[in-house]
Chains A and B, each alone.
Chain A
Amino acid sequence: KQEVTQIPAALSVPEGENLVLNCSFTDSAIYNLQWFRQDPGKGLTSLLLIQSSQREQTSGRLNASLDKSSGRSTLYIAASQPGDSATYLCALYGNKLVFGAGTILRVKS
């Protein structure tokens, strides 16, 4: 059974810092890994999708990496802004989509 863990559970940083969110998983037999952002009371917004054959994806200030052999993915956010404050979820698709519990990020101005 796939288990997904996200560390840290919560993070508070000053504006401008570069930061890393971590996602680890137990079963490397996955097709892809997707990072989502969720604002309070809102739906999920897809940030980055990494196929199992890929090692990383980039979009603007975001970079996500995938290392299947070690069962880890990281989401790197450069030059954080208050607007980045949200919950970040990683989800893996093997034979079904499994979510981590999320990291609550607060960027202070």
Chain B
Amino acid sequence: SQTIHQWPATLVQPVGSPLSLECTVEGTSNPNLYWYRQAAGRGLQLLFYSVGIGQISSEVPQNLSASRPQDRQFILSSKKLLLSDSGFYLCAWSVQESYGYTFGSGTRLTVV
């Protein structure tokens, strides 16, 4: 069966520090991968999606970047965190969008 892993579960980082969040998928090949952010009291915002290794599309300009070094690995990064980067980050995958999406357990990021 397919599973999706995100880590860490929680993270507290100072302003200006770097960030690396990792997401891996097991049990499937060539998944579409997504990073979403859920800010307090707001809906889910799509940040990045990837249809293959090294292929990254950005939905909104921001202080973050994404990379896909392996087929089932998706990484969210920042060189210097801002206070506004705080939020709940969710990774998701789909084999084909019409078949639905599966989400990870999320990472709670607090920038202080």
Contacts and interface: CB of A to CB of B under 8 A. Distances in A.
B105 interface: yes
B105 A43 contact: yes
A46 B101 contact: yes
Interface stretch (A13-21, A68-76, A90-98): A90-98
B106 A43 contact: yes
Contact of A97 (B6, B97, B99): B97
Interface residues on B, range: 20 to 34
Contacts of B103: 36, 43-46
A25 interface: no
Nearest to B41: A101
Contact of B100 (A32, A41, A45, A99): A32
Contacts of B100: 32, 34, 46, 49, 93
